[in-house]
Amino acid sequence: MASKNGGRMAVRILAALGVILALGSGCIGVQAEEGSFDLCGREKRTTCVVDGDTFWFEGEKYRIANIDTPEIASATCVAELGIGVRATQRLMKLLNQGAFNITRQAKSEAFGRTLATIQNSAGEDIGEIMISEGIARPWAGRRENWC
């Protein structure tokens, strides 16, 4: 009798552990309506793109953890501004293609953004796509000069 109850308890523990692991992974699948992302403006930000590596989705601000893209608000040369604008437009297009998965890496960082990696519905990493297109580079732990 004790081993039967012990077996049930082990099954309950394993089931609970599975739920905890699934919830703790930080991976959420989302379906964005086509065209729902636009450039962020001065109004309240809910679902929009700030720049090539930062966006808002349903009121939460995300930074793509595995890439660095040029700043557009504080570009220090024409080349940085040009690549930054292209990266911003490309991120908006990639997010507007439909379903994507957000895998949270950390709840927040210095600017209050949730660090995450993003995969499209085909499982392709959006950051890696942007790196391959020359409009982003792998995150090196700090911003680097684009000029």
Tens-digit pLDDT profile for residues 45-60: 899 999 999 999 999 9
The residues, any chain, with a CB within 8 Å of residue 147's CB and separated by 6 or more, are: 76, 77, 79, 80
Global confidence as pTM: 0.76
Tell me, yes or no, whether 97 lies in a domain.
Answer: yes
For residue 31, give every residue at least 6 positions away whose Cβ sits within 8 Å of its Cβ, in sequence order, or none: 98, 99
> Is residue 122 domain-resident?
yes
- Phi/psi for 123 (5° steps) reads 85, 5
Instruction: Decide if 74 is inside a domain.
Output: yes
* pLDDT: which is higher, 19 or 137: 137
Averaged pLDDT for residues 19-35? 50
Question: Strand, helix or coil at 128?
Answer: helix
Question: Residue 64: pLDDT above 60?
Answer: yes
Q: Which residues contact 118 (CB under 8 A, 6 or more apart)?
A: 62, 64, 95, 100, 101, 102, 103, 125, 126, 127
**Domain interval for residue 125:** 28-138
Look at residue 78 and tell me if it is in a domain.
yes
| Average pLDDT estimate for 116-133 | 95
Evaluate whether residue 39 is within a structural domain: yes
Of residues 32, 5, 104, 120, the one with CA closest to residue 61 = 104
Q: With CA atoms as reference, report the closest residue to 48 among 68, 62, 28, 67.
A: 62
The domain spanning residue 49 has which CATH number? Answer: 2.40.50.90
Interval 72-103: pLDDT, tens: 988 999 999 999 999 999 999 999 998 889 99
Does residue 48 lie in a domain region? yes
Angle value at C-alpha 42, between 41 and 47, nearest 5 degrees: 50
d(CA 135, CA 13): 46
Q: How confident is the model at residue 13 (pLDDT cuts 50, 70, 90)?
A: very low
- Is 33 contained in some domain? yes
Number of domains in the chain: 1
pLDDT at 48: 95
Is a pLDDT exceeding 90 seen at residue 68?
yes
- Structural domain includes residue 19: no
Task: State percent of the chain over pLDDT 70.
Answer: 73
